[in-house]
A and B are shown apart, each in its own frame.
Chain A
Amino acid sequence: MKRDEWKTLGWGAGLLVVAALLPLTGDGYLISLGVTIAMYTVLATSWALFSGPTHYISLATAAFFGVGTYVTGSGIEVLPYWLLLPIAAVVGGVLAALVGLATLRLSGVYFVIFTLGLAEMTRQAVTWYQNQTGHKGTYVLTDFTDNDIYWQLLGLAALVYLVGWAIGRSRLGFALRIIGDDEDVARHVGINTALSKVALFIVSGAVAAVVGAIIAPRYVYIEPSTAFTPMLSFQVVIMALLGGTGRLWGPLVGVIPFTLLWEAISSSFPNQTTLLLGLSFLAIVYLLPGGFVGLYDRLKGRAAKRSALA
C-alpha cells in the first residue's frame, strides 16, 4: 500500500471511532438521527459500489431490504439473532444473483423499471406466501435499543468501506470502470462483463438485506407495506447522487446533509414535507449535477488551474 492509502485508512478508522462514541452522549434524539444516517450510509454506499462505476440505476434496494427484514421477522423465534444476519446476506445475495443474471443484459431505462418492479414482485411473493399459510402478523420482540442497532450498522458500514476499497484496487473494480465508460470496449478487451456486473450486484444486494435484518427489531411489527416501501429505493438513489458516486466517500457526504435537511423539513413543515422534498430534489439535480464529489473535484480542478497559471 502507498503512504496515501495508509493515511486514508487512518482517517477512516478515526472517524469510525468518533462515530461509535455518539451513543455516549445519551441523547436519544441524536442517536435516532444517527441510526438513520448509518442506515442510509450503508445502503447508499453499497448501492454506489454497483451503480457508480456501471451507471446502472438500481431501484431494487427496497426488495433486498424487505427480504432482510423478513429473514429476521420469520427467524427470530427459532434461530439466534446473530445467525440471521449472515442468512440475510446469503438470501439477499442469491436474489441479487438471480435477478442480475436475468436482467443485467438489459440496459438503461429497462433495467431501472425492472428493479423497481422487483421490490413490488418480492412484496407480492411474501404476501402470497403469508396468504397461503394463514399468517398472523410478524413480530420481532428483542431487547435491542437504538444504541445496539446503531453500532451494528456502524460495523456494517466499516465492512462496506473495506470491501469497496478492496474492490476499487482489484481487477474487478478496474473492469467495472471500463464497463461504465464503454461496455463494448470492455467486452472486446476480454472482460466478462456479465459476470463482473453480477458480482457487484450481489455485494450490493447482500448488504441491503443485512441492513433490513438489523433494522427489523426496531420496527417490532413487520408489514409488507413498510418493509418493501418503494420510497426507500428512491431515497437511497437520491442521497447517493447528491453525494456523488465517483468516490467511496461520496454517498456519505450526501446522506448526512440530506438526512438533516429531511429532518429540518419534517420538523418545521410537517404539512408540506412532500412538496418541499420535491423542490429540494429539483434544486439538487439542477445545482449539483455531479453531487458534492463533482463540486469538490471541480473546485480542486479550478484551484489547480489557477496555481498552474500563476
Chain B
Amino acid sequence: MKRRTLLKATTTLAASLVAGVAMAADPIIVGAVAPKTGPLAGGAAVTHWPNIELWVSEVNERGGLNLGGEQRMLEVIEYDDQTNPAETIKAVQRLATQDDADIILAPYSTGLNLAAAPIFDKLGFPQITSSAATDQIEELSSQFEDMFFLLGRSTDLAEDAVEVLSDLREAGEIGNSVAMVNVADAFGIELAAVGKPALEAAGFDIVYETSYPLGTQDLSPIMKAAKAAEPDAFVAWSYPPDTFGLTEQAMIEELDVKAFYTAVATAFPSYGARFGSAAEGVMGIGGVNTASPDFQDYAARLEATTGSKPDYWASGMMYASLQILEEAIETTGTLDMAEVTQFIKDNSFETVMGTIEFDDQNNNTAYWTVGQWQDGEFKGIKETGREGAVEPIIKSGWE
C-alpha cells in the first residue's frame, strides 16, 4: 500500500470529462522526502509539507503540467526520513529506482539536504534547496552541479542583523551596549561565531554573553543576568524552543531594550499568534515582503488549501522552488532532468518571493536576512537585493 496523495476521485472524473478522452496520460510521479517524525518534524510541518500539498492540488486542478502539448497530472509519493540523513538517502534512492519518480523534490533542512546532495547528483535530479543555509555554496555547487540554493549564506544572516543594530545606533535610536546569547548547537554556534566578531567590529560593547545547551527548559537565569547588565539591545542566536522561551522570559522580566532579536522561528506564524501585541518590534531571522500582492495571494491560497499559514522566511522560498521547477518543466516540455537543470541555470523566474535567478554558483543572491514583527506581520527589514524592505521600528515594552 503506497501512500499516494493523488488527485481526489472527483477531480479525476471532472478532468477526464473536460478533456473528453477516455484516460489521461500517465501521471508525473513526484517524490517527496522530509521529516514527519523526529526533531525537525515540527518545522517541516510548517515550512515544507503544506507547500507540496498546495502546489500539487493547484497543478492538478488546472489539469496537470503541460508537457509538450500533453496534460499530465501530478502524483506524489511521500516518505518520512525521521530526521535521519541515512533514511533521507535511502528514500531518495527508493523514489528513483523503486517508484520511478520523474521528479524528486529537495529535502528539508541544511543537514538533510547536504546528505542527499551526492545521491541527487548521481541520479541527475536538480536539487533546489529552500531550507539550507550554508557558507559552503561555492564548494558545494562545484561538487554537486545540480544543487541550487535559495535561502542564502548563513554569514549574511548574522552580519545583516548586526548591521540593522548599527544603523539604529547611527540614527541615534539605540545605545552601544548589547547582550548576546546563543544556543549551543550547530546553527546557533555558527551564527554566534559570525555575529560576535561582527558586533565587535561595529564597535558594540558586549555587556553580557553566554550560551545554553539545546533543550534548556529554564531560561530565566539567562534573562535575569541579561537584564542586570542593562543592555540597549538583546540578540539571541536561538532555535525554535528557546526563541519562544527567551521571549517569554523577556516579558516576565520586562527586559527594557530598544532592539530585541531572536533567530530561528521568530518568523513562524505561531510566534505572532502566541505573543500577540507583545511581539511588536521583535526582530528575527528571515522576513518577506508582506506588502507584495503575490505573497499575500500565496498566503491566502496556502491557508485555504492546507489550513496552515506560511512562515515569513523559508515557506515562500519552498513554494518558489516548486514554481521554478514547474516553469522549467513546462517551458522545456520535457522530463529530461539534464535539460530542466540547464534551463534553471540559464533563466530567471517570477515567483511568490519575486524574481529569482541563480548566479554561476547556483546561488540565489537576493534573499531576506532580517525581519521584524510590525502590526501583526513579520516584515522584511533587511535583504541582499529584494524589494519592499520596511524601516525597522524601536521595541517599546512588552504590552
Interface residues of chain A, those whose CB is within 8 Å of chain B, are 27-29, 32-33, 36, 124, 127-128, 130-131, 134-137, 139, 141, 145-146, 215, 218-221, 223-226, 229, 231, 263, 266-271, 273-274
B273 at the interface (CB under 8 A from A): no
* Bound-complex Cα distance A272 to B219 (A): 34
- Distance in angstroms from A165 CB to nearest chain B CB is 29
User: Which residues of the other chain, B, contact A225 by a CB distance below 8 angstroms?
Assistant: 39, 83, 111, 185-186, 214
Q: Which of B6-14, B93-101, B303-311, B363-371 contacts A (4 or more CB under 8 A)?
A: B93-101
The number of chain B residues with a CB under 8 A from chain A is 52
A240 to chain B, nearest CB (A): 18
Contact of A231 among B84, B89, B143 (CB under 8 A): B84
A141 contacts which of B139, B184, B194 (Cβ < 8 Å)?
B139
Taking a contact as CB atoms under 8 Å apart, the answer to whether A28 and B122 are in contact is: yes
Chain B residues within 8 Å of A29, by CB: 93-94, 96-98
Is B90 among interface residues, defined by CB-CB distance under 8 A? yes
Chain B residue numbers with a CB within 8 Å of A127 are 184-185, 189, 213-214
B185 touches A271 (CB 8 A): no
Closest chain B CB from A93 CB (angstroms) = 24
Asked whether B139 lies within 8 Å of A139 as measured between CB atoms, the reply is yes
- From residue B83, how far is it (CB to closest CB) to chain A in Å? 8
Q: Is the CB of A136 within 8 A of B193?
A: yes
Nearest Cβ in chain A — how far from B112, in angstroms? 9
Q: How far is the CA of A271 from the CA of B336 in the complex (A)?
A: 31
Q: List 12 A-B contacts (CB under 8 A).
A: A32-B119, A135-B189, A135-B190, A141-B143, A145-B122, A225-B39, A225-B111, A225-B185, A267-B98, A268-B1, A271-B36, A274-B82
- Whether B128 is near chain A, meaning CB under 8 Å from some CB there, is no
Taking a contact as CB atoms under 8 Å apart, the answer to whether A220 and B189 are in contact is: no
Decide yes or no: A136 and B135 within 8 Å by CB, A223-B111, A270-B36, A274-B37 being known contacts.
yes
Q: Which residues of B contact A270 (CB under 8 A)?
A: 3, 36, 78-80
User: B192 in the interface, Cβ–Cβ < 8 Å?
Assistant: yes
CB of B189 within 8 A of CB of A130, answer yes
B98 touches A271 (CB 8 A): no
Mostly, the A contact residues are helix
Within 8 Å by CB of B79, from A27, A130, A219, A266, lies: A266
How far, in Å, is B123 (CB) from chain A's closest CB? 7
CB distance from A282 to the nearest CB of B (A): 19
| Contact call B193/A226, Cβ cutoff below 8 A | no
CA A131 – CA B110 in complex, angstroms?
19
Contacts of B78 in A (CB 8 A): 270
Q: Given A28-B122, A128-B184, A271-B36, 7 more contacts at CB 8 Å?
A: A28-B96, A32-B119, A131-B189, A137-B136, A231-B82, A266-B82, A268-B2
Docked Cα-Cα span, A269 to B2, in Å, equals 7
Q: Would you call A36 and B86 a contact (CB within 8 A)?
A: yes
- B211 beta carbon closer than 8 Å to chain A: yes
Residues of A within 8 A of B3 (CB): 268-271
Q: Is the beta-carbon distance between A221 and B1 smaller than 8 angstroms?
A: no
Task: Output the nearest chain B residue to A231 by Cβ-Cβ distance.
Answer: B84
Q: How far is the CA of A131 from the CA of B191 in the complex (A)?
A: 11
Q: Is the CB of B1 within 8 A of A269?
A: yes
**By the criterion CB–CB under 8 Å, are B114 and A139 in contact?**
yes
| B118, A224: Cβ atoms closer than 8 Å | no
Tell me the complex Cα distance, A291–B325, Å. Answer: 49
Nearest chain A CB to B124 CB, angstrom units: 12
Counting CB contacts under 8 A, is B280 at the interface?
A: no
Contacts of B83 on A, CB cut-off 8 Å?
225-226
Distance (whole angstroms) from the CB of A255 to the closest CB of chain B: 14
B134 to chain A, nearest CB (A): 7
**B87 sits at the interface (CB 8 A):** yes
| Nearest CB of chain A from residue B397's CB, rounded to whole Å | 32
Residue interface bits B113-133, CB-to-A below 8 A is 1, else 0: 011011100110000000000
Identify the closest chain A residue to B195 (Cβ): A134
| B82 pairs with A273, CB closer than 8 A | yes
Q: Which residue of B lies closest to A226 (CB)?
A: B85
Distance in Å: Cβ of A128 to nearest Cβ of chain B: 7
Q: A27-B97, A139-B139, A219-B115 are in contact. Are A134 and B193 (CB under 8 A)?
A: yes
Contact pattern, B 181-223, Cβ under 8 Å of A = 1, otherwise 0: 0101110011011101000000000000001011000000000
Cβ-neighbour of B136 out of A128, A134, A139 (below 8 A): A139
Chain A residues near B91 (CB, 8 Å)?
266
CB contacts (< 8 Å) of A219 on chain B: these are: 85-86, 111, 114-115
- Pairs A-B, 6 closest by C-beta atoms: A134-B193, A221-B114, A29-B97, A220-B114, A131-B184, A270-B80
